[in-house]
Amino acid sequence: MDLSWNEEQLSLREAIIRFAQKELNNDMIARDAESRFTRELWVRCAQVGLHGLPLPEEYGGQGADPLTTIMALESLGYGCSDNGLIFSINAHMWSAQMPLLRFGTEEQKKRYLPGMCDGSIIGVQGMTEPGSGSDAFGLKTTAERRGDTYILNGTKTFITNAPVADVFVIFALTEPKAGALGISAFLVEAQTPGLQIGKPFSKMGLRTSPMSELFFDGCVVPAENMLGKAGNGMAIFNHSIDWERGFILAGAVGTMQRQLETVIEHAKTREQFGQPIGKFQAVSHRIVEMKLRLEASRWFLYQVGWAKLQKEGANTPTESAIAKLYISEAWVQSSLDTLQILGGYGYMTETEVEREIRDALASRIYSGTSDIQRNIIARRIGL
């Protein structure tokens, strides 16, 4: 696996870090406290090409390969402390853009992808329901064919970006008796009659990433808005969730790099009992563990990008599940270690460590819980 970056990639990395540090961190404590999503920041990220990283240039994207995309998102996580914004960008890219790119008609791609790249359209997927979470295909939302339309009825919950989204990729049963094989996907615009977007949830972390429910009550969707073929929903979801699991924590690896640099500097300059605290084994060993977790996380992350590159974007379920599982657990522990090393300072809101702990905890739940990732890996190794 060749992980040497060329000059163009290194320049991109430095440009993203400079942009993020300058443009995306202002007023972060207040934005978190107010659960404030800022459309202006969303558009700024689009203007530097972040939203369109993996998409072809013909649709307004950057045409970046999987490894370059990972490197760019890792750089974003290093420079940007707004994990909610990063999370919303990932949800937009992997759950809306990628299924559109893979399964959309040419007309659908041209209608939505350029706007998704330039920041004028926010997209996301609607799969999770009140009665189905880890059992993703146990959904109850239905889509009944009536002439040249489908009538959607049901409820979706925990939908990232929902309060600000312009278009949703919605999964619904078109053949209820067929179970998972009867699921289809639809492109539903936010202003569609019969769709009601719920009030934003108040969350523990990732507060700058808005989330709410979706209610479908006789929602009329043109048949031409079906994404892919009828009954192809399971394949569409598996395709998008594979990209999501493999890439969504690239930013967390950048965050862990920033955390490591912070605690090293603190351990060198903070003195107790007449010497820097980094001289105490309890501190130095904790920092070494943070370094090990960082390097292992980076390896698993890059392994996903390399596998996607070799397989020309095909699904990589084992690599994606391993990366999602390991990085999520590593991010939580490294955030806790950062607080422990900084001591009382780390517990204060102004150091922003407590927020990163709250943000990191969610990573063990979204895109499939850590236990679900273990189940996937177990099956892939024949257990």
- Give the pLDDT confidence score for residue 132 in this predicted structure: 87
Residue 210 is classified by DSSP as -
Looking at the domain covering 124-231, what would its CATH class be? Answer: mainly beta
Using 50, 70 and 90 to split pLDDT, how confident is the model at 4? confident
Mean of pLDDT over the chain: 96
Query: Could you read off the pLDDT of 259-316 as tens digits, one per residue?
Result: 999 999 999 999 999 999 999 999 999 999 999 999 999 999 999 999 999 988 889 9
Residue 119 is classified by DSSP as T
- Give the pLDDT confidence score for residue 379 in this predicted structure: 96
Residue range 72-98: mean pLDDT, rounded: 98
Residue range 33-39: mean pLDDT, rounded: 96
Using 50, 70 and 90 to split pLDDT, how confident is the model at 3? confident
Of 105, 221, 117, 230, which Cα lies nearest the Cα of 178? 230
- Please, what is the Cα angle at 104 between 102 and 107, to 5 degrees? 135
- Give the pLDDT confidence score for residue 378 in this predicted structure: 98
Six-digit token string for 44: 């700024």
Q: 169: which strand partners?
A: 125, 187
- Please, what is the Cα angle at 102 between 378 and 380, to 5 degrees? 10
- Give the pLDDT confidence score for residue 135 in this predicted structure: 82
Question: Rounded to whole angstroms, how far apart are CA atoms 327 and 375?
Answer: 16
- Give the pLDDT confidence score for residue 61 in this predicted structure: 97
Q: 173: which strand partners?
A: 142, 183
Asked whether residue 133 carries a pLDDT value surpassing 90, the answer given is no
- Give the pLDDT confidence score for residue 136 in this predicted structure: 78
Domain with CATH 1.20.140.10 in the chain: 236-380
Query: Could you read off the pLDDT of 201-218 as tens digits, one per residue?
Result: 999 999 999 999 999 999
Asked whether residue 134 carries a pLDDT value surpassing 90, the answer given is no
Which helix (DSSP H) or strand (DSSP E) does residue 149 occupy?
Answer: strand 149-160
CB 122 within 8 Å of CB 166: yes
Six-digit token string for 213: 């429910």
CB 208 within 8 Å of CB 37: yes
Topology annotation, domain 236-380? Butyryl-CoA Dehydrogenase, subunit A; domain 3 (1.20.140)
Cβ neighbours for 345, distance < 8 A, ≥ 6 positions apart: 351
**Active-site residue list:** 244
Domain with CATH 2.40.110.10 in the chain: 124-231
* pLDDT over 90 percentage in the chain: 95
Looking at the domain covering 7-122, what would its CATH class be? Answer: mainly alpha
